[in-house]
């Protein structure tokens, strides 16, 4: 019944980027890119790493395509899709102290 909530089926889309900010035009493009991915439901994990939970591979593909359509003209952008199970294996350290991942956005599925 709840197979669609399987941790191997649910996906996370990670956007990793390094965008130039030397000129006013570059800064504006970088800000617009960040604003657009936030509007699409991504949350900041680190300054240049954003992530979004997707209930299925198909939904992850939709958001991947959206990001591809909003790429800035300059810079490096990586898109990584991992399963919920793979992301749960991440170890997070802050100042050599292991942290439990909190503030990771949860997306509820109503139907």
pLDDT digits (tens, 9 = 90+) for 34-82: 999 999 999 999 999 999 999 999 999 999 999 999 999 999 999 999 9
What is the pLDDT confidence band of residue 8, given thresholds at 50, 70 and 90? confident
Query: What is the pTM assigned to this prediction?
Result: 0.80
**Residues 12/54, Cβ–Cβ less than 8 Å:** yes
The tally of CA atoms less than 13 A away on the side-chain side of residue 43 is: 11
Residue spans of the domains in the chain: they are 3-99
The rounded Cα 33 to chain-centroid distance in angstroms is: 13
Cβ-based neighbours of 89, under 8 Å, separated by 6 or more: none
pLDDT given at position 1: 43
Task: Write down the residue that tokens 């197979």 correspond to.
Answer: 3
pLDDT given at position 56: 93
Task: Write down the residue that tokens 């591979």 correspond to.
Answer: 57
Could you tell me which CATH class the domain 3-99 is placed in? alpha beta
Computed from CA positions of residues 73, 78, 81, 84, in that sequence, does the dihedral angle turn out positive or negative?
Answer: negative
């Amino acid at each position: 019944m709840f197979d669609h909530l399987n941790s191997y089926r649910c996906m996370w889309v990670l956007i990793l980027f390094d965008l130039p900010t030397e000129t006013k035009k570059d800064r504006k493009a970088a800000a617009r890119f960040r604003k657009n991915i936030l509007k699409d439901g991504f949350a900041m994990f680190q300054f240049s790493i954003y992530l979004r939970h997707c209930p299925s591979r198909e939904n992850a593909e939709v958001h991947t395509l959206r990001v591809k359509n909003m790429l800035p003209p300059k810079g490096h952008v990586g898109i990584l899709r991992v399963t919920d199970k793979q992301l749960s294996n991440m170890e997070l350290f802050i100042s050599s102290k292991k942290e439990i991942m909190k503030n990771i956005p949860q997306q509820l599925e109503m139907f």
